Amino acid sequence: PPRPDVPGYALGQATLARAPYSMADLTALQKSMLFGADDVAALRQSKAILADQTEAILDVWYGFVASTPELVVFFGDTRSGQPDANYLGAVRKRFALWILDTADATYDQAWLDWQYEIGLRHNRLKKNKTDGAHGPAQVDFRYLPALTIPITTTLKPFLAKKGASVADVERMHAAWVKAVLMQAILWSHPYIKDGEF
Amino acid sequence: PPRPDVPGYALGQATLARAPYSMADLTALQKSMLFGADDVAALRQSKAILADQTEAILDVWYGFVASTPELVVFFGDTRSGQPDANYLGAVRKRFALWILDTADATYDQAWLDWQYEIGLRHNRLKKNKTDGAHGPAQVDFRYLPALTIPITTTLKPFLAKKGASVADVERMHAAWVKAVLMQAILWSHPYIKDGEF
Ligand code: HEM
Ligand code: HEM
The string of pLDDT tens digits covering residues A112-162 is 999 999 999 999 999 999 999 999 999 999 999 999 999 999 999 999 999
- The pLDDT, as a whole number, for residue B90 is 97
Whether the pLDDT of residue A1 is over 80: the answer is no
- The pLDDT, as a whole number, for residue B160 is 98
Q: Do A147 and B32 touch (CB under 8 A)?
A: yes
Burial of B124 (C-beta count, 10 Å sphere; 0-12/13-18/19+):
middle
Distance CA A95, CA B151 (A): 30
Q: Which residues of A touch B148 (CB under 8 A)?
A: 181
A positions 152-171 inside 8 Å of B (CB): 153
Q: Do B177 and A181 touch (CB under 8 A)?
A: no
- Whether residue B34 contacts residue B40, with contact meaning beta carbons closer than 8 Å, is answered with no
Whether the pLDDT of residue A67 is over 80: the answer is yes
Please tell me the distance in Å from B123's CA to the nearest CA on chain A: 8
Establish whether this prediction's ipTM goes over 0.85. Answer: yes
Judge whether A83 is closer than 8 Å to chain B, CB to CB: no
Count residue pairs from A and B with Cβ separation < 8 A: 104
Whole-number average pLDDT of chain A: 97
Q: What is the B101 CA–ligand 2 centroid distance (Å)?
A: 15
Three-class SS state of A145: helix
Q: Which residues of A touch B124 (CB under 8 A)?
A: 196
Band the pLDDT of B2: cuts 50, 70, 90. Answer: confident
Question: If you measure CA to CA, which chain B residue comes closest to A152?
Answer: B33
- Whether residue B35 contacts residue B179, with contact meaning beta carbons closer than 8 Å, is answered with yes
Whether the pLDDT of residue B101 is over 80: the answer is yes
Distance CA B117, CA A181 (A): 24
10 Å Cβ neighbour count for A93?
A: 16
Interface test with chain B among A192, A194, A197, by most B beta carbons within 10 Å: A192
Whether the pLDDT of residue A2 is over 90: the answer is no
Q: Which of A197, A176, A178 is nearest to A187 (CA)?
A: A197
Q: What is the A173 CA–ligand 2 centroid distance (Å)?
A: 27
Q: Could you give the C-alpha distances from B38 to A64, B34, B169, in angstroms and in order?
A: 19, 10, 13
Classify residue B2 by its DSSP letter. Answer: -
Band the pLDDT of B4: cuts 50, 70, 90. Answer: confident
Q: Which residues of B touch A196 (CB under 8 A)?
A: 123-124, 138, 140-141, 191
What digits encode the pLDDT tens for the residues A160-188?
999 999 999 999 999 999 999 999 999 99
Evaluate: CB of A97 within 6 angstroms of ligand 1. Answer: no
Q: Do A149 and B33 touch (CB under 8 A)?
A: yes
Interface test with chain B among A116, A144, A193, A197, by most B beta carbons within 10 Å: A193
Which ligand has the minimum distance to the alpha carbon of residue B86?
A: 2
Judge whether B137 is closer than 8 Å to chain A, CB to CB: no
- The pLDDT, as a whole number, for residue B53 is 98
Band the pLDDT of A12: cuts 50, 70, 90. Answer: very high
- The pLDDT, as a whole number, for residue B62 is 97
Whether the pLDDT of residue B94 is over 80: the answer is yes
Distance CA B131, CA B92 (A): 12
Q: Which residues of A touch B182 (CB under 8 A)?
A: 146
Question: If you measure CA to CA, which chain B residue comes closest to A64?
Answer: B32
What digits encode the pLDDT tens for the residues B130-168?
999 999 999 999 999 999 999 999 999 999 999 999 999
Whether the pLDDT of residue A105 is over 80: the answer is yes
What digits encode the pLDDT tens for the residues B59-71?
999 999 999 999 9
Question: If you measure CA to CA, which chain A residue comes closest to B35?
Answer: A149
Choose among A32, A148, A174: nearest Cβ to B181: A148
